[in-house]
A and B are shown apart, each in its own frame.
Chain A
Amino acid sequence: MSATLTATPETTAAPAPKPTYKVTFGRVLRSEGSKFLSLRSSWITLAVGLFFLAFVGIMVAYRYNPADLHGPAADSRDAIDISLKGVELSQLALGVLGVLATAGEYTTGLIRSTFAAVPKRLPVLWTKCLVLFGAAIVVATAGAFISFVGGENFLHGKAIALTLSSSGVLRCLFGAGLYLALVTVFGAALGMLVRSVAGGIALLVGIMMLLPVFLDMLPSSWKTDVAPYLPGTAGQSIYSLHTAPGALSSGTGLWVFVAWVAAALIGAAYRVVRSDS
C-alpha cells in the first residue's frame, strides 16, 4: 500500500474555487463500512451466523444427558465443547459473508465503480477485510458467550459443567470469536481470488469441510501428519479447552490458521493488482 493513502487531516486551507477531494485509506474504510451496512445480505448472513452459533450450542446443552450414548453431545468432553458445537455451521454463514463482500462486487460489476474511485485497488481489499473482521468478531464473540451462558443452566450440576471463571473458558470463547472472524476474512480473500460468488463458496466449503474428508482417502501416516494443519482442524484447536491427542496447541493452531488466511490474502492481493477488472 502506498504511503499517500494514509489518513490526512480533513481540513483544507485557502478558499479554493474547486473543492480539493482526495482518496485516503480512512475514507476508503468509511466507504467500505457504509457499503457493508447498506446491504441486506450482510445483516442476514451475520444474523444466520449468530443464530447457528447461539442456538445450536444452547440446544445441545439443553438436550445433554451424560447417560446418552448417541445424542448430539454424546462425545462431548466439556461444556465448551457443547457450547461451541455451532461453530462449524456458523463458519459457513460467516465465510459466505466474506465471499459475498468481495466476489459479489465482481458478479454484479460494481467492482469497476469501486476501482474507478480507488484505482490503487489494494486499499479496497484491506479495508473490506477490516470491516468484515470487525463486524464478525463482535457478532461471533457475542454468539459464543450467549451460547455458553445460555447453556450453563442446563449443564448446571453435571460433571462437564464449567463457568466463565473456569480456567481456559474465556480463552476458548474469545478464541471462537477470533476464529470465526478470521474465517470471514478467509472467505473474502477466496472471493477476491476466484471473482465468482458460486466459485468462492465452493472453494470455501471445499477447504474448510471437504479437505478432511479427502484426506481420509490418503495413507494413514500422511493423515496424522497433515490433518492437524488443515485450516478446519487447526482452527478447532484455537477454541478447544483441551488439546486433543495429535492436535495442535491453541497457540500453534491460531498461527497455522492465520498462515492460511495470509496465504489466501497474498494470492488475492496479487490477483487484484495484476489482472484486469
Chain B
Amino acid sequence: MIELQHLVKRYGDKTAVDDLHFTVKPGVVTGFLGPNGAGKSTTMRMILGLDAPTSGSVTVNGKRYAQHAAPIQEVGALLEARSIHPGRSAHNHLLALALTHGIPRRRVDEVIELTGLGKVAKKRAGAFSLGMGQRLGIAAALLGDPQTIMLDEPVNGLDPEGVLWIRTLLTSLAAEGRTVFVSSHLMSEMALTATDLVIIGRGRLMADTTVAEFIEQAGGDSVKVVSSDAARLREALLGPDVTVTGEAGSETLAVSGLSARQIGQAAADAGIAVFELTPQAVSLEEAFMTLTGDTVEYRSNAGTASKNGAPEGSVAA
C-alpha cells in the first residue's frame, strides 16, 4: 500500500510534481502512466525518501519509508537511472545490499536465479547490456521479498522475451497479494499488464481509474480480425455486448467486446481460418494522448505520433 497525500515537488521554480493525491492498493498491478517529464520518476524517488517533498507526504505500508526498520523488506524498487557501480559484479552488488539488512546469502543466489543472471553474476556490472542491467535492478528490488514492489519503466531496453518475463512477474507478484506499482509512458504497455491506472501529466493527476474503465471511456476495446470467411465468423462471434463491424465482402472485421484470445478460440471452434488478430491499442494510445495532450512538454513529437497513428508512438520522446 502506497499513500500519497498532496505531494508536491519543486526544483527551483519548476514544479515537477503538483499536488498528487492517490493510493496504490495491494493485490493488483497499478500502472503509473504519463508522458516523459510528467513527474513519474520524481514521485517514485519521493516515495523512497531519496528526494524530499516540497510539501505533502507519502507513506508506504503505513509509515514513511525511512521509518521502517527494514526498508527493502517493505518496498523493493527499480529506479529509472541505473544505480549500480560498473566496477562491481552483480553478485557483490546484491550482497552489499543484503548485508545492510542481514538478508542471508542464499537469498542473493535466489534472486540471481530468479532474474536469470546466473551466468553473468560474477561479471562486472559495467559490461552488462541495458536488459541485464534492468534484470539486476529487478533482482535488487526482489531481494528483501518486499510486500510492495515499485518499478520505474522496467521494460525500457528489454528484448521481447524480457518484456514478457516482466509482465508475467508483475502479475504473479500482484496475485500473491503484493502492491505492484509500475510506471510507463506507453498506454499500450499498461493496458497489457495493469489493472488499476493512475495517469499524470505535468505533475498533476489526470485520472485515477482502472484500465477497464479507461478503455470503456476511450470508446471500447477493439480487435482487428482478418479471415477468409468474415461473414461466418461474424455470426460465430455475435452475442450480448459484442459488436462486429466490417464492410460487406471485406475480409477485415473490427470486433469489440471480446478479447483477441476469445475471438481466436471462437474461430477455432467454428473451424474458420484467421489470418490476422490484432488488438487495436491505437485508440487507447490516442485516448491517453487526448487526456494528457495539453500537458505534453514537447508538442511537436506528440503531434507526429498521433498523425502517423503509430501504435507505440513515443510521446514526447
Min CB distance B86 to A, Å, is 6
Is A118 positioned at the interface, with any CB of B under 8 Å from its CB?
Answer: yes
Is B83 positioned at the interface, with any CB of A under 8 Å from its CB?
Answer: yes
Say yes or no: A41 contacts B87, CB within 8 Å: yes
8 Å CB contact of A34 from B71, B83, B92, B145: B92
Interface extent on A, as a size class? 35 or more
Say yes or no: B144 contacts A21, CB within 8 Å: yes
Is A242 positioned at the interface, with any CB of B under 8 Å from its CB?
Answer: no
8 Å CB contact of B85 from A19, A108, A117, A120: A108
Say yes or no: B73 contacts A21, CB within 8 Å: yes
Is A70 positioned at the interface, with any CB of B under 8 Å from its CB?
Answer: no
Given A22-B69, A40-B87; A117-B100 close (CB under 8 Å): yes
Is A116 positioned at the interface, with any CB of B under 8 Å from its CB?
Answer: yes
Docked complex Cα distance between A45 and B75 (Å): 36
Docked complex Cα distance between A108 and B66 (Å): 23
Given A28-B100, A30-B99, A34-B99; A39-B85 close (CB under 8 Å): yes
Say yes or no: A113 contacts B81, CB within 8 Å: no
Number of cross-chain contacts by CB at 8 Å: 111
Is A156 positioned at the interface, with any CB of B under 8 Å from its CB?
Answer: no
Say yes or no: B50 contacts A21, CB within 8 Å: no
Say yes or no: B100 contacts A31, CB within 8 Å: yes
Given A20-B70, A34-B96, A113-B97; A119-B48 close (CB under 8 Å): yes
Say yes or no: B87 contacts A27, CB within 8 Å: no
Is A112 positioned at the interface, with any CB of B under 8 Å from its CB?
Answer: yes
Q: Of residues 166 to 189 in B, which have CB atoms within 8 Å of A's CB atoms?
A: none
Is A38 positioned at the interface, with any CB of B under 8 Å from its CB?
Answer: yes
Given A22-B69, A23-B71; A117-B88 close (CB under 8 Å): no
Q: Of residues 40 to 76 in B, which have CB atoms within 8 Å of A's CB atoms?
A: 45, 48-52, 65-66, 68-73
Say yes or no: B50 contacts A27, CB within 8 Å: no
A-chain residues with CB within 8 Å of residue B68 when the two chains form the complex: 119
User: Could you tell me which B residues sit within 8 Å of A by CB distance?
Assistant: 45, 48-52, 65-66, 68-73, 77, 79, 81-89, 92-93, 95-97, 99-103, 140, 144-145
User: Could you tell me which A residues sit within 8 Å of B by CB distance?
Assistant: 4, 10, 18-24, 27-28, 30-32, 34-35, 38-41, 104-105, 108-113, 115-120, 276-277
Leading 7 A-B pairs by shortest Cβ distance: A119-B66, A31-B99, A38-B92, A21-B70, A21-B101, A113-B83, A276-B51
